[in-house]
Amino acid sequence: MSHLTLLAEPWWVNLFIFVPFTALFLWRKYRLSVAASTLLACAFFGAAFGFVEAAVVVYLRAAVGLLPGYGGTRADVVRLSSELYQKALIHGDLPESLWTVEIFREAATMVMLLSIAVLGARRLSGRAAVFLWTFAIWDICYYLGLYLTIGWPSSWLSPDVLFLIPVPWLAQVWFPILVSVLTLAAVLLARNPIGRARAE
């Protein structure tokens, strides 16, 4: 089992741990009001989209020969999946053409999540809340989808490539899960009871 690594790479990725706390402070100050129905709909979208992302990753690994396919054992799948997320392996085994597609896929993911935020709320604070809420659920369901389909991550300490733009972001799985859980809590704690019936 891997040892606990407290810092993500590059260094500035660690600053994302402050996003939920900063958002909670600002939302409390400026009275966040996002309808419960909006959060519920975005939760369904985020969960479904998280599983789609997990499936894409499984297909990508299979396409470049990083999974043993149906003939391999579950242990092979877990071992190869874990190894893929070592920095050297993802750079060495992913063809340049697929690397470019992967970067555009990540950019498209952000566009989709931003679009949901714009549709889900009228004011900037509400849009930020919807974006972060949907992103957090998407992220958690992405890891859940991978775990249910290929048994990865094998532990909270599994290394992962979180994002590729502008450079690969590297951390153990506990880090993005913690940020996502804190983000969900921030949205729920900041919601304005008076404005719950309508989207901001």
**Residues 123, 130: Cα–Cα separation, whole Å:** 11
Q: Enumerate the β-bridge partners of residue 172.
A: 159
Tell me which of 61 and 8 has the higher pLDDT: 8
Supply 166's token pair: 């502008």
Supply 181's token pair: 């859980």
Q: What is the pLDDT of residues 17-50, one digit of tens each?
A: 999 999 999 998 877 889 999 999 999 999 999 9
Q: What is the pLDDT of residues 139-184, one digit of tens each?
A: 999 999 988 888 888 888 888 888 888 888 889 999 999 999 999 9
Indicate the domain borders of the chain.
32-190
The pTM assigned to this predicted structure is 0.82
* Residue 189 confidence (pLDDT): 93
Q: What is the pLDDT of residues 80-122, one digit of tens each?
A: 555 554 443 454 456 677 778 888 888 999 999 999 999 999 9
Phi, psi of 90 (to 5 degrees): -65, -35
Average pLDDT, the chain: 82
